[in-house]
Structure 1
């Protein structure tokens, strides 16, 4: 050792590890109580039914469980809720905790694939993005059999029997916007695989509701072909859905299409005569997912839509391996929507590098950080 320096040696007595475990456990509970204390100290009560923060004349000990429950189940990674418009459908969310402070945030709707379980991957996978970009995440769940029988793919085509899945998403958005006191008249949508089916068809029917659309690896695509009926084309959407195609509105939506170049299996995406969604032209867009998504990109471009096409090298049909590309796209779309001069995460990073607080002069770069309840 250099002259003038000494080394302190810590000798752990017997029982040190046990004591450390007890300390960590105690700290875990203290974090939960800190979340409750945050809401208590604000002397406000979150009213989900009214979507507002209201002054509370008093905060008794009896109110603490209710405050902790709201912090645990309505903020951060939420519980799963039934849709009021149709309880057969459910949803969960990631809600930045500062929404309890009356903060306005944007919304991303992330749509699951055929297996349905990816809704949790998306809720959790976009949570950090949502926290630092002031963006809630709504993940619908459409269980197999909602329309009767065992059709796994009904939601992908937006309608099944008397169920309109696009309208259910709009109902979920309206329901949660009212609950949290937000203006989510426009939102972003992302979907992968079966969710990619849903997202691009939703964008075709409802472009005026979107500030961005990210379409991931759909197995089949609806081209903007006015000479073909739904779902291969869009000729009859007025009769089928009660809407007309608005090319100008779609052209205003930032669109990403993303797929792995190794996503080449065709066993699940090749339509055959007699299969539930067979129709003439069902396989005309291409054989593989990359080929079909490229055809959709060309179709959108011909309608005046600017498409960011991301081909992920070496990636097969893996939703988690494309999420960073989606976050990058959504970050840029938020910059455009909010009119920032630079990307939000760059501003936050610059603040951290200078050892400053994340609270800057512009509220757009102040991350949505608040105490969260435990799970």
Structure 2
């Protein structure tokens, strides 16, 4: 039998979110109902509200979540009722050409629950990133649930569901940062700081944080940045970011430069601030209208790699349990990403704080 719970939706572009009644169907084959415990407020949720993803309103927002499995559908074998899980938006299919070539983290056919959650009048909801976790409960595909150690703080664990995993994975999985590497991270919000934490975890010898906000640079130091560059101050002083990064890396540039902003100007900084055979990782999300214009000879004259990192090239079943274990051992300070804990009625205010750079993550506690 279906059940009705509270949920936060966006009805139209730019309008404040609303708390409404949401109907959750019983799980069908391959589906799971999860009782949500905590869900982070991610910039992607704000992008949905602003129409930056698509126009399939109303959206059921929220996706960086953890919770407990309440019910499972026919054929579900990887989780059981009562399991503590982190939700993800990449349920790999196992059958596409990427999966069959042993690259499931690049799955071309990730999927979500087939049934729709609705308003009480039958209006179908579009769950953010196929999750929809600003709600007491949500319906997802089995592959969107990853069982982890229940000793983890739910508010911390859920953040691996999107931004924190994207940043850590950009450094470790995509950038392949290793011991003694020099790393520069441009943009020190949640994703950038997670990239810094990932680089520190694997032993990078020098981690350079770049931002225009001193508060964000202070946060970056807490996650392991060894040097910081305020891009605004360097511009005023007549020294550009590229030169500043080169000066901190023996004139060579960094082995790995991670662009956590996703704008043409920051990508160019990343490109020119890397060593001749260095790696650029784009993890910040550009908008469709952005264009990049550069001399083609500059690409020819440098080796290395230019990579895009989608969800940190993660495989949830591989990465989530490991990162939670490192967090519980005190080796990965995931708890520092939680700036405040709020209720469902605090989401609109959390959007404003996030946009103003006042928080790394506000986390909704259900």
Structure 2 length-normalised TM: 0.28
Structure exhibiting the larger radius of gyration computed from Cα positions: 1
Indicate the structure with greater strand content: 2
Indicate the structure with greater helix content: 1
